[in-house]
Structure 1
């Protein structure tokens, strides 16, 4: 299985549209959304191409392939317009002998990890910075933000065949690790 990991869209249709073009080009099986989908939040500036209704429509077109969690800027009203579950604080996927733990990062983060074991993969967003490392045989991953990165460039993640990558919009691999 090949899946894309996206975090912190914050209503940016222009950025989501580019990422979904790559999703199609790369023939992904699943789209993992790590929260903060439609709203920019009171601490953030409006991202370029801020169109939450268009983001909603584009995401809904992929509803059968989405695994999503709630971010700190996501609200109950967002679930009313999104046609896939997105209100859980975390989700899990078991694949290739690993447990992937997906969360936004405002409840669980590197300082407050959930109960994980060797071989698990902890994926979170929220900080808008890329992270890819192993600690105590646990892979820790943050793809950064596709709309409002706080370090580096806009990026997302790709997982395939035991390899996890942080990728830029021009499809350049910025970091990678075998899990």
Structure 2
């Protein structure tokens, strides 16, 4: 089974548009949108339009992330700040919410996770939905591995951190140090993997993930996307966001 995984798009229309060209050249079974479609980028409807195009053209699975749940909550008059947001996040959230002209939760068939033969795809971690803690450190990976073992699963793929890392385990022990996923890797044991980010990667290039899952060998390949970063930055600079928020958002790309 061959999956394409795109996560943490964050309304980066230009990166998503470039991915759409690449997908048309690939053969795969399912496209997994692994959460956080909006916030930070300003071309909100344009981003949604491409996601709707994906839904029409591919076998798509839409996984809810924290930045999707935010808009479900706003549109249902619920508290949307699951923790106090910094000013730039809150301004970007309210900017995005104002551009949503219809029910965001009803636009797609959202799921909290997707499970395929012992491999879990979910946005943030192994814990309950709504726990938005991260996997960055060895201890955080180990705690999630313990939950993986408790649930008797083979592996898991996450987004959320905007950083691509993986670790393999054998008989409860890490087989190697926590490694950055920079290209293709074959995994034959239990594993945890965080993909990078398409829309707002941290210390890396924009990317998506190709997963080939066979009975014994799982192959993961991080695919770099080269897109018009300057056009994305220009859209931020020309938006009605405050200079403070613009400056913070632009800092992720310069």
TM-score (norm. length: structure 1):
0.75
Alignment gaps of 5+ in structure 2: 73-102, 125-131, 136-140, 171-188, 227-254
Indicate the residue corresponding to 1:147 in structure 2: 199
When the two structures are aligned, how many residues end up with a matched partner?
154
2:220 paired with 1:164? yes
The answer to whether the Cα contact below 8 Å between 1:68 and 1:91 also exists between their aligned partners in 2 is no
Larger strand percent: 1
Shift of 1:22: 1.4
Q: Distance in 1 between matches of 2:209 and 2:104?
A: 24
Indicate the residue corresponding to 1:51 in structure 2: 43
SS of equivalent to 1:61: helix
Alignment gaps of 5+ in structure 1: 41-45, 171-179
TM-score (norm. length: structure 2):
0.55
2:116 paired with 1:93? yes
Indicate the residue corresponding to 1:126 in structure 2: 160
The answer to whether the Cα contact below 8 Å between 1:91 and 1:101 also exists between their aligned partners in 2 is yes
Indicate the residue corresponding to 1:27 in structure 2: 27
The answer to whether the Cα contact below 8 Å between 1:70 and 1:89 also exists between their aligned partners in 2 is yes
Indicate the residue corresponding to 2:128 in structure 1: none
For the aligned residue pairs, the C-alpha RMSD in angstroms reads 2.2
Q: Who wins on radius of gyration, i.e. which is larger?
A: 2
Shift of 1:107: 5.7
Q: Distance in 1 between matches of 2:116 and 2:161?
A: 22
The answer to whether the Cα contact below 8 Å between 1:5 and 1:158 also exists between their aligned partners in 2 is yes
SS of equivalent to 1:79: coil
